[in-house]
């Protein structure tokens, strides 16, 4: 399961307001980034192969391949001197890049590459 902080819930509810087709937060990963896998998030709708969680009224969807990499993670929304945006705290990550947008786990290294 992936959880959301209170600040992430507030921001996501704002973003989802008025959206009809994209009614959920999708969390996904893809090979790449300097550590092996890169995180991604988007407003989307559920597909058959997704696991769905509801956290304080916000639906979170994760495909099964991604869930293996991010199980137990927490999504936070921060607005501080370093910037604003969503951040993922992943307990499975054994290595991350300096910007925090890519990672690898103890069992899966991904395909390290450019952080573009």
How far apart, in whole angstroms, are the C-alpha atoms of residue 93 and residue 82? 22
Residue reference for tokens 């890049």: 97
The torsion angles phi and psi of 67, rounded to 5 degrees, stand at -55, -35
DSSP string computed for 55-115: ETTEEEEEEHHHHHHHTT-EEEEEEETTEEEEEEE-TTEEEE-TTSSEEEESS--------
pLDDT score at 39: 86
**115 found inside a domain:** no
Q: What CATH number corresponds to the domain at position 47?
A: 2.60.300.12
**53 found inside a domain:** yes
Residue 10, C-beta contacts closer than 8 angstroms, at least 6 positions apart: 77
**47 found inside a domain:** yes
pLDDT score at 100: 59
Task: For the chain, give the number of residues.
Answer: 116
**116 found inside a domain:** no
What is the full per-residue pLDDT of the chain (116 aa) written as tens digits?
899 999 999 999 999 988 777 889 999 988 877 777 888 899 999 888 899 989 899 999 999 888 988 999 999 999 888 778 898 888 988 777 666 567 767 666 666 565 55
**73 found inside a domain:** yes
**42 found inside a domain:** yes
pLDDT score at 107: 67
**114 found inside a domain:** no
DSSP state of 33: T
Query: What is the domain extent for residue 83?
Result: 3-105
pTM of the model: 0.82
pLDDT score at 28: 93
Number of domains in the chain: 1
pLDDT score at 79: 86
**43 found inside a domain:** yes
């Amino acid at each position: 399961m992936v959880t959301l902080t209170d600040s992430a819930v507030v921001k996501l509810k704002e973003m989802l307001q008025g959206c009809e087709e994209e009614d959920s937060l999708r969390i996904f990963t893809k090979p790449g980034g300097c550590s092996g896998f890169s995180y991604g998030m988007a407003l989307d709708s559920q597909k058959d192969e997704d696991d769905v969680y509801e956290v304080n009224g916000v639906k979170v969807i994760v495909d099964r391949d991604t869930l293996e990499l991010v199980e137990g993670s927490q999504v936070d929304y921060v607005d501080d001197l370093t910037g604003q945006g969503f951040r993922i705290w992943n307990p499975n990550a054994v290595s991350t890049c300096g910007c925090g947008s890519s990672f690898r786990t103890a069992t899966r290294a991904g395909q390290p590459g450019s952080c573009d």
